[in-house]
Amino acid sequence: MNRQASIKLKDFMEKKPLVSIVLFTYNVERWIENNLKSMNAQKFKDFEIVMVDKYSTDKTQEIARKFKNVKIYNAPIERSTQANYGVKKARGKYVFLTGADFEYHPLYLKKCVELCEKKGYDAVYTSVVTKNNTFFGRCKALERLCYVGDDEHESARFVKRDVFLKLGGYDENLVAAEDYDFQRRLNKQGYKTGRVDVIAEYHLGEEETLRHIVRRSFYYGKTLYQFLQKYKGSSVVQMSPVRTTYFKHWRIWLKDPLHTLGFIFFKITQYFFGSLGMLTAIIVNYKGINSEKGSK
């Protein structure tokens, strides 16, 4: 290492920027303790945890209070609102936005900060894989492996706080695809998004039962049409049931035919009930518009 590089590294080590981990939660007593333990195992120690809870009725907040570095706030509505609220309360130069049903690679924050500080990136993609051994969890795991390193299907959730605020944060009209939407706005405004050489998150809370798939798909579908309306034809790449990345990673599917078949069933169910949710939202919206016209 030459003298100039050594000085830069020394300056970085002495002036570590603060990272604010913005954690949005609701009735996650099943996950929250492991999540916070995993956060506190990060090799980068200059962080705060801003937890924005949607008035949980279980032991989520009780468990979180055991961790001294967690600041707990309450904010209603959906996770986009929670995330925006948390970023406003955050003090860090960088924010990392995440849910409670994750565990983390211990080097992720360290590598993100180094990448942004040394190479001038404004945000870092967040790669996710599944850590769930249920049948449908393992089906979903195959899909997530196809997305690792794919700019079309991953988004930045580690970002400079001032950039997040300049872009207006997450679109609070979106319950699903808010991260896709934010990444599109990052790209459009010319901000630089980089990658680090580790998987950021291990997702624990995959759909585990058919009922869970149906309920979540219908719920997300009710607002997904807003994303489709916002981006029209360009949303096809991210919302299509048949994606080129599946074919690029064909070996993943061949290695596990049982869960490949399960995944096909999973996606058919997901898109069917997601479409029903979307149709329901369109009908409600249409009736609302006509009602407003009739009252004038």
In the predicted model, what is the mean pLDDT of residues 78-95?
95
For 142-178, what is each residue's pLDDT tens digit? 999 999 999 999 999 999 999 999 999 999 988 888 9
What's the total number of domains in the chain?
Answer: 1
In this structure, is residue 11 part of a structural domain?
A: yes
Its domain, for residue 113, covers: 3-209
Question: Pick the residue with more confidence: 293 or 199?
Answer: 199
Residue 254: CB atoms within 10 A of its CB come to 9
Residue 140 has pLDDT above 60, yes or no: yes
200 inside domain = yes
What is the sign of the dihedral through the CA atoms of 115, 119, 124 and 127? negative
Question: Taking the alpha carbons of 23, 28, 33, 34 in that order, is the dihedral positive or negative?
Answer: negative
CATH of the domain at 23: 3.90.550.10
Percentage of the chain beyond pLDDT 90 is 76
Give the total residue count for the chain. Answer: 296
Helix (H, G, I), strand (E, B) or coil at 48: strand
How many C-beta atoms surround the C-beta of residue 180 within 10 A?
19
Q: Is residue 205 part of a domain?
A: yes
Average pLDDT over residues 212-234: 82
**Residue 236 domain flag:** no
What pLDDT shows up at residue 227?
79
Q: Is residue 57 part of a domain?
A: yes
**Residues 95-126 pLDDT 10s:** 999 999 999 999 999 999 999 999 999 999 99
CA distance 20 to 47: 6
Place of tokens 């605020």: 165
pTM of this prediction? 0.88
Residue 264 forms part of a structural domain: no
**Strands of 201-203's sheet in order across:** 102-104, 201-203, 128-130
User: Cα(30)–Cα(103) distance, rounded to whole angstroms?
Assistant: 13
Report H helices in 149-256: 161-166, 178-188, 210-231, 236-239, 244-248, 250-255
Q: Where does the pLDDT of residue 274 fall: very low under 50, low under 70, confident under 90, or very high at 90 and above?
A: very high
Average pLDDT rounded to a whole number, residues 85-91: 97
User: Residue 12 pLDDT more than 60?
Assistant: no
Over range 21-48, report the average pLDDT.
97
Nearest to 227 by CA among 217, 218, 236: 236
pLDDT at 240: 82
For position 229, what pLDDT does the model report?
75
Could you give phi then psi for residue 47, rounded to 5 degrees?
A: -140, 160
Residue type at position 119 = K
Q: How far is CA 289 from CA 110, 158, 284, 296, in A?
A: 49, 38, 9, 11
Residue 134, CA distances (Å) to 16, 96, 204, 261, 262 in order:
40, 28, 10, 15, 12
Q: Which two tokens stand for residue 23?
A: 């954690």
Across-strand partners of 21?
49, 96
**What integer is the mean pLDDT of 14-42?**
94
Distance of CA 40 to the CA centre of its chain: 19
Give the number of other Cβ atoms within 10 Å of residue 59's Cβ. Answer: 14
